Structure 1
Amino acid sequence: MSVSLELRGLRKEFGGLVAVNDIDLAIPRGAVMGLLGPNGSGKTTVLNLISGALPLTSGEVLLNGQPVQHLAAHHRARLGIARTFQLVRLSRSLNARDNIALSLAFGRDALWGAAARERADAALATVGLPGRGNVDVGSLNYIDQKRLELARAIAAKPDILLLDEWLAGLNPTELRTGIELICALKEQGMTIILVEHIMEAIREICPRCVVMSAGMKIADGPTPDVLTDPQVVAAYLGDFEYA
C-alpha cells in the first residue's frame, strides 16, 4: 500500500518550548490512525503543521511523496488536505450551504456558483443534514454544527482528513452518530488522522494508534497493543484499564 502522508523529523519550537520533537510517521493511503496523548502533548500542533496552519521549525511533510511544508495552508488544501478544529469554526453570517460553498472556492476543484452549491448540498446529505442548506448556522445545535464543519471539510474531496477532537462534547447518542459517520467516511477510502480522547471511538474506528507525550512519539502500533502499553498507560491513560 502506497504512503499517502509522511512526516520526517517534524519539529516545532515556540521560543524555548519544543512542542513537537522530531516526529517520524508514515500513513498508508486509505488508513485511519488515532493520534493520542495527554493535553499539551503536541497532537493539535502536529495537525497544524500538516495542514499549514503553523510553519514548522524543521523537518518535512510529504503528501503522496511530494514535500509540501513550504506551501501555505490554502495551497495544501488544493492538494487534498482538509481538517476540522477543536472549536467549531463557522461563519455565522452565512447559512449552512454558503459556509461550504465559500470553502470550495479555495478547494482542489475551485468551484463557484451553482456547482459549489450543488457540491455543498451533497456534502450536507452525506453528514446527515439533507435539505438544511438554507438554515442559519446559529440555529443549529452542537452536533449539527460539527456535522456542518465536517461537511465543509469533505466537500473538497480530500485525500487527507484531519479530525481534531471532532467527537468531543457529544452526548452518548450523538457520539454513536458521530462514530458511525466517521466509519462511513473510512469506507470511502479517505486517509484519516483522528485526534481524540474517547477510547470507545478510538477502539472502534482506528486500527492503528500513535501516542505522543511531551512532544515525542512514545508508541505506534495496533490499537489494542498501544492502549495496553505500560508507557502509554503511565503517560496518558492513568489508572484506567482497557481490557
Structure 2
Amino acid sequence: METATASPATLQLEQVSVRYGGVQALQDVSLRIAPGRVYGLIGPNGAGKSTTINVIAGFTQASSGRVRFQGSDIGAWAPHQRARAGLARTFQNLALFGSMTVRENVACGAAAAGSRCPASAREALVDAELQRFGLAAVQHEPMAVQSLGTRKRIELARALVGKPALLLLDEPAAGLSADEIRALSDAVRAVCRTGASVLLIEHDMELVMGLCEHLFVLDFGKLIAQGTPDAVRADAAVQAAYFGAADELC
C-alpha cells in the first residue's frame, strides 16, 4: 500500500473506528492530507465514505481513534467549532435554506467561518463567490426555485466563502452537466492553489482520476488501498472491491 508523501498535515485520521450498535461502519481508518492537494475518497456504496466525511466534519462521533486538524485534536469539537477553524463541507443531500435567497445562503458560510471571515470583509467575499460561480444574476432570488445545478453551485460558494483550509466535497458532481463539472474542477484546482486541501467523494471516476492527486479506497469500512490514481486503478484489491469491474476505474 502506497503512503502519502511526508509533509505538514492539514488533517490526520489515526485508527478511527465508528460503530453503530453491532454495525462496524469504519474500522481503524488512518489517512493523512497535506496542504494544497486534491484527495479522493472512493469505494462501493456502503463502504463508509460519507461516515468518514461526517467524522471529520463533526457530525458523527468516532467510537475510537483521533481526528487531528492542523495539529489540534478536534475529536471533541462541535461542527461549528471546526468550521471556524477552517473546515468546510458540502452535503450529498443538499443542505440549503429554502426560505432564504441565494445570497443569504452564501452569506451563511461567511458567518459560520467566524473570525476567519471578518464582518467588515464578508460582503466583498460573498460578492466574489457569487461572481465566481455565476450566481450574481440570481443572488436575490429564493434558493428554492433554483435548478439542481445552480443549487450545487450555491452550496459550493457557501463552503468556499470562508476561505477554508480543508474542503470536504460529498458527491458534488451528481446531477451536473458536463460544463458544470468542468467548472467544478476549475474551482477545486483554484482552491488548492491557495494552499487549501480538498477531500472529494465522487462516483464519477473520470472526474476523480483527472482531478485527484492521491486516492483513498474504502471497502466495508476498511481502508484497502491508497496512492496515485494509476496505482489505485491497478490494485487487485480495489478491482475486487468494485466486483472485478476494472472498467469502473478507467
Structure 1 residues 192 and 110 mapped into 2: Cα distance closer, same or farther (>3 Å)? Answer: closer
Counterpart residue number, 1:169: 175
In structure 2, the residue matched to 1:4 is 10
**One-letter amino acid of the counterpart of residue 178, structure 1:** L
Aligned CA-pair RMSD? 1.8
Instruction: Give the deviation of 1:41 after TM superposition.
Output: 0.3
CA contact (8 A) 1:84 1:153 kept: yes
Q: Distance in 2 between matches of 1:225 and 1:12?
A: 28
Instruction: Quote the offset at 1:168 in angstroms.
Output: 1.3
1:199-239 CA-partner distances (Å, limit 9, x unpaired): 11111110110100000000011111101211101102642
Q: Is residue 141 of structure 2 the alignment partner of residue 135 of structure 1? A: yes
Matched letter for residue 142 of structure 1: L
Please give the per-residue CA displacement for 1:21-62, whole angstroms capped at 9, x wherever unaligned.
Answer: 111111111121000000100000000000001111111110
Structure 2, unaligned runs of 5 or more: 1-6
2:84 to 78, 83, 101: 78
* Paired residue type of 1:148: I
Structure 2 residue 200 is matched with structure 1 residue 194: yes
Partner of 1:119: 125
How far apart, CA to CA, are the structure 1 residues paired with 2:46 and 2:96?
Answer: 25
Identical positions, percent: 36
Q: Name the amino acid aligned to 1:92.
A: G
Aligned to 1:234: 240
State the Cα distance separating 1:89 from its structure 2 match.
1.1
Q: Secondary structure at the match of 1:210?
A: strand
Equivalent AA in structure 1 for residue 125 of structure 2: R
TM-score, structure 1 as length reference = 0.93
Q: What is the number of residues matched between the two proteins?
A: 243
- Pick one of 155, 158, 165 that aligns with 2:164: 158
2: CA distance between counterparts of 1:7 and 1:131?
A: 41
TM-score by length of 2: 0.91
SS of aligned partner of 2:155: helix
Q: 1:173 to 1:131 in 2, by over 3 A?
A: closer
Pairing of 1:207-218 with structure 2 (within 5 A): 207-218=213-224
Partner of 1:29: 35
Q: Does 1:67 align with 2:68?
A: no
CA distance in 2, matches of 1:104, 1:175: 24
